[in-house]
Structure 1
């Protein structure tokens, strides 16, 4: 199975042409070109064209490109989905998804627009109703590829403070990780709003890894390096994964179903995780 590195997922405002240009040189795994929160209503149509022009110009290299459109029920949502149905992007990111029916409505529009099957969907979990329905949403359609946490909106709706341990959000975060894993999706942690709090950002990244997230959404390029380092496999992890895989291959050749590596029992489930780590390492090295 191919695994795409999604350690760092940077929001870029679609109305800012300088930001769209700068994004071509940033070391983010994913760029979410944003038409929703980062763009004022009066700039929505112009921002859409800015993004289309930037995509047509290209030059984004290895970076996975995603466009966050406005909600399906807004004045802009349907037109934006149609406008990007054949754009050179990986996915459309849907804000504030609260039901499987919302995802399926977008899929129906993409089918009408004859969008390629390679165009995937990412659903944002950022409301209480969305979190409560996340299992239904995660299994809504094969086009759905990732769940993205919108922790700022979610914290507001839940009336919980932004504490370093994110105590008030942990139940929602874990529920979304569970749903993503149950349906074979990636899941991305929410943003850290304090740009001057480097220690707090690193703590949030480390907590995201411990909770099971594949990467973190970001609001500024200065956050990319820490996210890449924290969510990416270290040299030690890659070496250990390689050792586990080699030991397993040798054990299989001898007809064994388990093997001991560095004093620890290794079974097929550990080999699967080792192969995932190696695949991500290979994808990063290929750049």
Structure 2
């Protein structure tokens, strides 16, 4: 599946050191998995976790799910060895934490070669250099690291995430300008379905492609929030049909539900249908 046209509604972090979790992930209805060598792995397990992950990837069974590996940063004792290990794995991308500049991505690309790179956006310097980072030729996607960013910004948690909106917006602008994938940060209260749904809707309406998750219990809510609804799919079809009929006849303007349909609406409608089709393909 084309990585740029596939869905990324739900992107679940899985500890790379936990064989049971790696196995369970094969049966979860997620669009992508971040196999985590960083925060989810203790220092004592760092070296062994590479071999555990390499075996799980080699064994396969992850289907259409995008396979992304988050390594440790190059400012740690494990980052370089992580990158060298991931280079030999059959995965879709490597995710670098705490990206501050395009130079950080250059350093990773020197090791991982042609493997697409994703960037964790979680530092104030990274926010200020989002456009530079997004323009890197190897970059395919961005992941918002909202927990680390909140710590660096010394913000307080608010359900509306108002203290985060500037940072989220800067990264969204950068990603959209370069045609990248961008997924929202995690929602920590994993048993709070209402809170999760509200944050998913906020992120979706802002323009995020999906959301990173910390627990399988969050998958269903997130997939539903970031998928086109039946009403949206129906409207998209009617908009395309009305526009095509009007264009064919050369008369008047297309109108659906009392609203004018222009070319920009048709482009959005086509993207809605393409996303719905890609989600259906994931389920096969």
Q: TM-score higher than 0.5 here?
A: yes
Choose the corresponding residue for 2:70, options 64, 68, 73.
Answer: 68
For residues 56 and 219 of structure 2, the distance between their equivalents in structure 1, rounded to whole angstroms, comes to 21
Q: What is the match of residue 39 of structure 1?
A: 41
**What's the CA shift for 1:41?**
1.2
- Map Cα deviations across residues 17-39 of structure 1 (whole Å, 9 max, x no partner): 10000000100111100000111
1:57 deviates by 0.4
1:127 pairs, out of 118, 123, 127, with: 123
1:281 aligns with 2:276: yes
Shift of 1:95: 0.5
What is the Cα deviation at residue 104 of structure 1? 1.7
Q: Normalization by structure 1: what TM-score?
A: 0.93
Partner of residue 174, structure 1: 169
Q: Distance in 2 between matches of 1:170 and 1:134?
A: 14
1:136 aligns with 2:132: yes
Query: Which structure 2 residues correspond to residues 5-20 of structure 1 after superposition, within 5 A?
Result: 5-20=7-22
Aligned to 1:158: 153
Change (3 A) 1:40 1:271: same
- The alpha-carbon deviation at position 256 of structure 1 amounts to 6.7
Q: CA contact under 8 A between 1:3 and 1:276: conserved in structure 2?
A: no
Between the aligned partners of 2:252 and 2:76, the Cα distance in structure 1 is 55
Aligned match of 1:106: 108
Contact map agreement 2:86 2:112 (CA 8 A) in 1: no
Give unpaired runs (5+ residues) of structure 1. Answer: 112-116
Structure 1 residue 258: deviation in Å? Answer: 5.2
**Secondary structure of the corresponding residue to residue 87 of structure 2:** coil
Aligned residues: 280
For the residue of structure 2 that corresponds to 1:31, the secondary structure is strand
Q: 1:266 to 1:124 in 2, by over 3 A?
A: same
Query: What are structure 2's unaligned runs of at least 5 residues?
Result: none
Q: What secondary structure sits across from 1:277 in the alignment?
A: helix
